Amino acid sequence: MPGIPREVIEHSLHVKEDAKPIKQRLRCFAQDRKDAIKEELTKLLAAGFIKEVLHPDWLANLVLVRKKTGQWRMWLTQQPAASYSIFFDWYSGYSSDPTKRIRLLEALVYYALWGLLIGRNVEAYVDDVVVKTKQKDDLIADLEETFASIRAFRMKLNPEKCMFGVPSGKLLGFMWGPEAQKAFEDFKKLITTPPVLASPHPQEPLLLYVSVTSQVVSTVLVVEREKEGHVQKVQRPIYLVSEVLADSKARYPQVQKLLYGVLITVRKLSHYFQSHLVTVVTSFSLGDILHNREANERIAKWALELMSLDISFKLRTSIKSQALADFLAEWTECQEDMLEEKMEYWTMHFDGSKRLRGTGAGVVLISPTGERLSYVLWIHFSASHNVAEYEALLHGLRIAISLGIRRLIVCGDSQLVVNQVMKEWSCLDDNMTAYRQEVRKLEDKFDGLELTHVLRHNNEVADRLANFGSKREAAPSYMFVEHLYEPTVPRKETIEALDTQGISMIETDWREPLIKFLTKQELPQDKNEAERTSRRSRLYIIHKTELYKKSPSGILQCVSLEEGRQLLKDIHSSICGNHAAARTIVGKAYRQGFFWPTAVSDADKIVRTCEGCQFFVRQIHLPAQELQTIPLSWPFAVWGLDMVGPFKRAVGGYTHLFVAIDKFSNWIEAKPVITITADKARDFFINIVHRFGVPNRIITDNGTQFTGGAFKDFCEDFGIKICYASVAHPMSNGQVERSNGMVLQGINA
């Protein structure tokens, strides 16, 4: 087989002479790979490139790689790949020879092959060659010159991969043109000139830019400074923060992702926010969302964390410094006239779309100053076109409420939806009636709300957003994509099932707000009650149209207050009742799987009003009197007495200690004894009497050494009153207990 002459290039393997040969274990191959190996080995054996060895010193498995054409390439050594379709492609059989292993010296081969042709009209990489011609008339001459060099070095071409006379082609699998070259140069310039981080001066105002995608949140903290030679201020980055969102956080709405970006920046760079005035520059009204009283629990929690810092929010229409400064100046002037700002209206366009791929909706909110918020809604349940229109309307209204918008003009191209909501047309479908009622409920959230019908060509923006959702196409980065998996309004059969199961939907039922919030995301009108319902709803679930409460022992079925009271009466005083205490009957009700919020107070009221319980209740027949303290009038008038031990036997056979403390001066007396008897206790206290006088009383425990006859007779003879502490309650004589600890500490030291 022809190949490159050895005098041109030859590569040798420098292997250590003392290297130990390695035999690899035989690998198993699939049948199609076995057939390919057998076919290739047959060719190599017939050509004489390889020979069979029965007892080899080393053994390496074959490696098969599938080509783009579907054929298999067998690797005996490291062969150069030839999988790119360009002008010329060499046969790579020469690299099957183990003495010519070409991997790193291709460049030397090509320079020897063509010499000065490289760079002039020939470009080569590995075994791919491109012959280029500037003029059409010179094509034949350039090819003749190239083929002459190929024949001289006995190289072969792969005719299946050769192309002639084409204006352009792929190089390494990519089309390369002026635009690609320019992008490549710009990229090299970008990575070779990274931004230099700056350090802010004390009290210098800073700017924060936030950018989010579906999976990543990034922020950059910058400072604007004057620079010579620049008319506008130059922005210098201070710190960059980025976080890859977890799966749960990736489901946040886009506006909440922007707020989350501000939050993580504050947590990481709190020292900058505490010592500088930071302005968050964004195209969205983040400040209005944070200060909205009807914000959800997550935003309210973030607002509490951010309100202690000096952070302001400014809208922008351009990232250029001067345009940003002009916009901030105009915005500041607009804030001066608060009355005029309150009378401004937002505009909302909505539309729904239904296609074979799915159903979608689109909403566009336009602020009084012209900023736009675009939302794409993917509807993942079976819905008609009219339902999609209603879902778009409800979704847009809820977004407006969360943004704190008070006056809104709604425009839609669906005459059915607009006229039904405005009560100009009647609803023949119960489902449409439910949607209309849901829209009417949200009217109370606005100071002014007006629905108008517009022609389709005046609603093109919302129509385009709805098509993004129904076609399931990727939306641009400035659009917020949200998903809806269940209808906003429960279907008729679900409502009927709730009614048949006995769930009372009256206003006095404590379960009503929770059921409405869990099934329809509807909160009470009162803000405090709405916050309370939203907070409590995390402990409840709807299962088979019934409300249940989560508990450590399982789920408990929620019953009405009247049903709960009747249940307690049955447990307390029915045929099997034993007139148990309040907490006992409540525990029995909970263990049977029932729950209502006033169970403890209801049980206490039932027990207190039960005639049998009041008649047979255990009465305490002792006269009521106040606790009397022991007065400490003078030193050594009251002593606390106790015994400590046993200890390890000491010199002299001592195993215990008698300890006494004066309650007034905290003077401690201690004496070791061999045996603990009443006589030893009497002898110990006689020594105290001889030194400090006769006390008024002694406080001690109920040990036999202090209740024995000898000690009691001694105290009676001297007129000393003995006060015994409560049984198993040493805290009543706590002073002597602390003195015991001090004595033990001294002994251990």
Q: For the domain bounded by 638-748, which CATH number is listed?
A: 3.30.420.10
Q: Mean pLDDT across the stretch 604-614?
A: 85
One-letter identity of residue 239: Y
Residues 6+ apart with CB under 8 A from 416: 386, 389, 425
Q: Of 9-23, 55-69, 235-249, 401-415, give the lowest mean pLDDT range.
A: 9-23
Gap between the Cα atoms of 71 and 77, Å rounded: 18
**Which tops the pLDDT comparison, 522 or 330?**
522
Range ranked top by mean pLDDT from 19-33, 386-400, 708-722: 386-400
One-letter identity of residue 343: M
- Report the alpha-carbon angle 295-243-211, nearest 5: 65
Q: Mean pLDDT across the stretch 366-393?
A: 88
How many C-beta atoms surround the C-beta of residue 321 within 10 A? 17
Gap between the Cα atoms of 352 and 671, Å rounded: 95
Gap between the Cα atoms of 351 and 364, Å rounded: 9
pLDDT of residue 573: 82
Gap between the Cα atoms of 671 and 413, Å rounded: 101
β-pair type (311-315, 278-282): parallel
Q: Put residue 742 in one of left, alpha, beta given phi > 0 → left and psi -120 to 50 → alpha.
A: alpha
**Tell me: the pLDDT tens digits for 159-186?**
777 877 777 666 666 677 788 888 889 8
Topology of the domain covering 494-616: Endonuclease III; domain 1 (1.10.340)
**Contact predicate 389/414, CB 8 Å:** yes
Strand ranges of the sheet holding 594-595, from the earlier edge strand across to the other edge: 540-543, 546-551, 554-558, 594-595
Range ranked top by mean pLDDT from 173-182, 387-396, 552-561: 387-396
Gap between the Cα atoms of 392 and 362, Å rounded: 6
Gap between the Cα atoms of 693 and 662, Å rounded: 12
Q: Mean pLDDT across the stretch 388-414?
A: 89
For residue 127, pLDDT over 70 is answered with no
For residue 579, pLDDT over 50 is answered with yes
Gap between the Cα atoms of 225 and 695, Å rounded: 85
For residue 87, pLDDT over 80 is answered with no
What is each CA distance from 680 to 505, 641, 646, 695, 736, in whole angstroms?
79, 13, 15, 19, 19
SS3 category, 419: helix
- The first and second tokens of residue 291, run together, are 């200060």
**Contact predicate 262/306, CB 8 Å:** yes
For residue 353, pLDDT over 80 is answered with yes
**Tell me: the pLDDT tens digits for 252-272?**
888 888 889 999 999 999 888
Strand ranges of the sheet holding 122-125, from the earlier edge strand across to the other edge: 88-89, 128-131, 122-125
**Which tops the pLDDT comparison, 211 or 620?**
211
pLDDT of residue 433: 86
All CATH 3.30.420.10 domain ranges in the chain, comma separated: 342-489, 638-748
What is each CA distance from 232 to 113, 226, 593, in whole angstroms?
58, 7, 71
Residues 6+ apart with CB under 8 A from 747: 647
What is each CA distance from 455 to 321, 392, 413, in whole angstroms?
40, 17, 6
Gap between the Cα atoms of 365 and 34, Å rounded: 64
How many C-beta atoms surround the C-beta of residue 357 within 10 A? 11
For residue 641, pLDDT over 70 is answered with yes
pLDDT of residue 49: 77
pLDDT of residue 363: 92
pLDDT of residue 626: 61
**Tell me: the pLDDT tens digits for 662-674?**
888 888 888 888 8
Residues 6+ apart with CB under 8 A from 158: 82, 88, 89, 90, 91
**Which tops the pLDDT comparison, 269 or 75?**
269
pLDDT bucket at 324, cuts 50 / 70 / 90: very low
For residue 1, pLDDT over 60 is answered with no
- The first and second tokens of residue 238, run together, are 């201070």
What 3 state SS string does 300-355 have? HHHHHHHCCCCEEEEECCCCCHHHHHHHHHHHHHHHHCHHHHHCCCEEEEEEEEEC
**Which tops the pLDDT comparison, 506 or 448?**
448
Residue 116 CA to chain centroid, in angstroms?
A: 61
Closest alpha carbon to 80 in 125, 33, 14: 125
For residue 638, pLDDT over 80 is answered with yes
pLDDT of residue 332: 34
pLDDT of residue 328: 35
pLDDT of residue 730: 64
All CATH 3.10.20.370 domain ranges in the chain, comma separated: 206-336
Q: Mean pLDDT across the stretch 143-153?
A: 81
All CATH 1.10.340.70 domain ranges in the chain, comma separated: 494-616
For residue 504, pLDDT over 60 is answered with no
Gap between the Cα atoms of 504 and 498, Å rounded: 9
pLDDT bucket at 426, cuts 50 / 70 / 90: confident
For residue 519, pLDDT over 80 is answered with yes
pLDDT bucket at 348, cuts 50 / 70 / 90: very high
Q: Mean pLDDT across the stretch 566-590?
A: 84
Residue 127 CB-density burial (10 A; 0-12 exposed, 13-18 middle, 19+ buried): buried
For residue 78, pLDDT over 60 is answered with no
- Count how many residues are written for the chain: 749
Enter the pTM of the model.
0.30
Q: For the domain bounded by 206-336, which CATH number is listed?
A: 3.10.20.370
**Contact predicate 54/48, CB 8 Å:** no
**Which tops the pLDDT comparison, 264 or 119?**
264
- b (16+ CB within 10 A) / e for 163-181: eeeeeeeebeeeeeeeeee
pLDDT of residue 202: 86
Gap between the Cα atoms of 559 and 599, Å rounded: 11
Topology of the domain covering 342-489: Nucleotidyltransferase; domain 5 (3.30.420)
Find residue 539's DSSP bridge partners: none
pLDDT of residue 738: 80
For residue 77, pLDDT over 70 is answered with no
Gap between the Cα atoms of 550 and 356, Å rounded: 41
- The first and second tokens of residue 691, run together, are 């030194």
pLDDT of residue 483: 87
**Which tops the pLDDT comparison, 79 or 605?**
605
- The first and second tokens of residue 558, run together, are 């929620």
Q: Mean pLDDT across the stretch 487-500?
A: 57
Q: Mean pLDDT across the stretch 175-200?
A: 81
Percentage of the residues of the chain whose pLDDT score is greater than 70: 81
Tell me the average pLDDT of the chain. Answer: 78
For residue 82, pLDDT over 70 is answered with no
